[in-house]
Structure 1
Amino acid sequence: MSKFGELIDANVPVLLDFYADWNEQSIAMHPVLRDVAAALGDKGKVIKIDVDKNKELSQALRIKGLPTLMIYKKGEMVWRQSGEQDANTLISLLRDYLV
Structure 2
Amino acid sequence: MSKFSNLINTSEVPVLVDFYADWCQPCHMIAPSIRSIKGKMGDKLKVVKVNSDKNQQAMAKYKVKSIPTLILFHKGKILWRNAGVLPEFEIEKVLNKYIAK
Which letter maps to 1:48? Answer: K
Q: Residue 16 in 1 paired to residue 17 in 2?
A: yes
Partner of 1:61: 62
Does residue 35 of structure 1 match 2:41? no
Who is 2:3 aligned against? 3
What TM-score do the two structures reach when normalised by structure 1? 0.91
CA deviation string 1:25-64 (max 9, x = no partner): 0111111111110110111011110001111111221211
Question: Number of aligned pairs?
Answer: 99
1:83, distance to aligned residue in structure 2 (A): 0.0
The letter for the 2-side match of 1:5 is S
Where does the alignment leave 5 or more consecutive residues of structure 2 unmatched? none
Offset at residue 92 of structure 1 (A): 2.0
What amino acid sits opposite 1:50 in the alignment?
Answer: N
Q: Which runs of 4+ in 1 moved over 3 A?
A: none
Where in structure 1 are there 5+ consecutive unaligned residues?
none
Identity %: 38
- Which residue of structure 1 aligns with residue 94 of structure 2? 93
The aligned runs of 1:61-80 (5 Å cut-off) are 61-80=62-81
Helix, strand or coil: the match of 1:84? coil
Q: Secondary structure at the match of 1:66?
A: coil
Aligned amino acid, residue 54 of structure 1:
N
User: What is the RMSD computed on CA atoms of the aligned residues?
Assistant: 1.3
Structure 1 contact 12–97 (Cα < 8 Å) conserved: no
